[in-house]
Amino acid sequence: MRLIRNKCNTLLVVLGIFFLGAMLSCEKHNLEDPENTTERLFRPPSFEASVNTNEVTLSWIPIADATYLLEVSKDNLLFETELQQIELGEVSTYVLTDLWSSTRYSARIKAVSKNPAVKDSEFIAITFQTGVENIFFTPDEADIAETSVLLSWDSGKDVDRITVSASGAATRTISLSSSEIENGQVLVEELTPATAYTFRIYKGEMLRGTLNVEVGALALAAPVFINFGMDNTATGWNNLTHIPNPHPHANGTISDLVDETGAPTGVSFVYATGFGASGARFTNGPTGTSITGFEMPNVVSQQGFYGVDAGGGMAVFRLEKLRNGQAYDVCFFSGYPGGSGRETKYTVTGTNEVSTSLDATNNTSQIACASAVYPDADGNITITLRKGDNNTTSNGFYCINAMRLTLSD
């Protein structure tokens, strides 16, 4: 019985010593009490990275009476590539900025003791991948033209060049001037109409943004020709064949003019006002015309529409769905055999107005052009035909065989 009691006493003593040691040990690891420390600081707990494109916020739980040493590298926990060492004070966060897009980085941090008798902690490390930075702003519709794009970006970011690439074309590099960098804008010109481009902006080898833009199609890729008279089957000609049927008659509108290659343009032609009761179609015009850039088959040059001043005064056509801000040239051919003084005046009106005249008498080689006419706010240009100022016919004869629409140079 005494033996058992002695053994119990011994066990109680051992347990008491153990618990006392544990309590003392806990006191030495109390990080909030600088007087009770171990030989080495603990590593900062909960070291995390929050990625926002190319900016990363590092955060951790702070250690009492410690500063920090942060190391960052552009690799996967090797800490060899472009290693940076950053000394930090008593903080619990740090933001890394201007990192490379879509790139693997590593970061590690250790607590640096303020007490020389206590060693620094060991490092705790994490790795993360940045997102995709894009400092470009989306261009407004007004910034995109047929052959150019005005590019804009965050002028607070450091950049030096832009590359321009498109399928089937060599990539070109634009070195940015100091003023372009300061303003955050550059006009990229000499682009091909109706082409999708990719623009990339860099600082050195660091990609800072990517932008895909399709430049607009030309307002007209090729000249548009209109024949007034009987149907002409030649490719690239639009035919207005019914002189007594102006709009709103179905025959009074060509809803989508084709250009000389046969491609649709989206431009409409409206026969707005007829040639009057005395208007008629003629088929005895000239053959063998010779006008560079206004070549006509004989079936076009031989026919046309005419009216007389006494029988209605004027005819009106309208071009619709033209591009605002784009200047157009409208040219006319008229040819009629015999007589004299058959001058026709063509008045072309948009936001501005240009008049031109042509004598149709035995004409085979002359055209009259109204140049640099801009569409009105609705995208329309109106064409009015009447007898010319030098018309000497008794009835005020005026006519048209064919018309051409092109972009102004």
Written as one string, the DSSP assignment of 307-339 is EEGGGTS-EEEEEESPPTT--EEEEEE--B-S-
CA distances from 283 to 42, 101, 403 (A): 103, 70, 17
Higher-confidence residue of 339 and 167: namely 167
Would residue 299 count as lying in a domain?
A: yes
Total number of domains constituting the chain: 3
Last residue of a domain, one of 214, 238, 254: 214
What's phi and psi for 91, nearest 5 deg?
A: -125, 170
> Is residue 90 located within the same domain as residue 187?
no
Q: How much of the chain exceeds pLDDT 90, in percent?
A: 81
Kindly give, in sequence order, each residue whose CB lies less than 8 Å from that of residue 239, ignoring residues fewer than 6 positions away: 226, 227, 229, 230, 231, 232, 254
> Is residue 287 located within the same domain as residue 373?
yes
Chain-centroid distance of CA 312 in Å reads 49
* Cα separation, 343 vs 356, whole angstroms: 10
> Is residue 190 located within the same domain as residue 307?
no
Last residue of a domain, one of 106, 129, 152: 129
Give the angle subtended at the CA of 154 by the CAs of 150 and 158, to the nearest 5°. Answer: 110
Would residue 401 count as lying in a domain?
A: yes
- Asked if 308 and 385 count as a contact pair (C-beta separation under 8 A), the reply is no
> Which one-letter amino acid corresponds to residue 230?
M
pLDDT at 32 over 70: no
| pLDDT band with cut points at 50, 70 and 90 for residue 193 | confident
> Is residue 181 located within the same domain as residue 230?
no
Would residue 165 count as lying in a domain?
A: yes
* Cα separation, 119 vs 333, whole angstroms: 97
Q: What's the residue count for the chain?
A: 409
Q: Mean pLDDT in the chain? A: 90
The token pair that represents 244 in the structure block: 């007594």
The token pair that represents 172 in the structure block: 């070109």
Average pLDDT of the residues in 103-116: 96
The token pair that represents 150 in the structure block: 């005005």
Is-above-0.85 flag for pTM? no
- Asked if 63 and 121 count as a contact pair (C-beta separation under 8 A), the reply is yes
Would residue 17 count as lying in a domain?
A: no
> Is residue 84 located within the same domain as residue 195?
no
> Is residue 316 located within the same domain as residue 190?
no
Kindly give, in sequence order, each residue whose CB lies less than 8 Å from that of residue 328, ignoring residues fewer than 6 positions away: 219, 220, 319, 322, 350, 372, 373, 374, 375, 381, 405, 406, 407, 408
CATH number, position 117: 2.60.40.10
Cα torsion angle, 371, 376, 379, 382, sign? negative
pLDDT of residue 16: 46
Question: Could you tell me which of 62, 69, 22 has the C-alpha nearest to residue 42?
Answer: 62
Would residue 189 count as lying in a domain?
A: yes
Neighbours of 265 (CB within 10 A): 20
Higher-confidence residue of 206 and 36: namely 206
> Is residue 146 located within the same domain as residue 262?
no
pLDDT of residue 312: 67
> Is residue 322 located within the same domain as residue 248?
yes
pLDDT at 11 over 70: no
Give the angle subtended at the CA of 362 by the CAs of 232 and 313, to the nearest 5°. Answer: 75
Question: Could you read off the pLDDT of 227-264 as tens digits, one per residue?
Answer: 999 999 999 999 999 999 999 999 999 999 999 999 99
> Is residue 344 located within the same domain as residue 299?
yes
* Cα separation, 369 vs 333, whole angstroms: 9
Would residue 9 count as lying in a domain?
A: no
Q: What is the DSSP-derived secondary structure letter of residue 99? A: P
Question: Could you read off the pLDDT of 117-140 as tens digits, one per residue?
Answer: 999 999 999 999 999 999 999 999
> Is residue 180 located within the same domain as residue 98?
no
Average pLDDT of the residues in 171-188: 97
DSSP 3-state assignment of 396? Answer: coil
pLDDT of residue 12: 43
- Domain ranges, residue 173: 141-214
> Which one-letter amino acid corresponds to residue 239?
N
| pLDDT band with cut points at 50, 70 and 90 for residue 188 | very high
Last residue of a domain, one of 98, 129, 160: 129
Chain-centroid distance of CA 292 in Å reads 37
> Is residue 260 located within the same domain as residue 385?
yes
Would residue 332 count as lying in a domain?
A: yes
* Cα separation, 51 vs 36, whole angstroms: 37
Would residue 38 count as lying in a domain?
A: no
Q: How much of the chain exceeds pLDDT 70, in percent?
A: 90
Question: Could you tell me which of 277, 270, 286 has the C-alpha nearest to residue 342?
Answer: 286
Kindly give, in sequence order, each residue whose CB lies less than 8 Å from that of residue 99, ignoring residues fewer than 6 positions away: 54, 55, 56, 105, 130
> Is residue 235 located within the same domain as residue 379?
yes
CATH number, position 372: 2.60.120
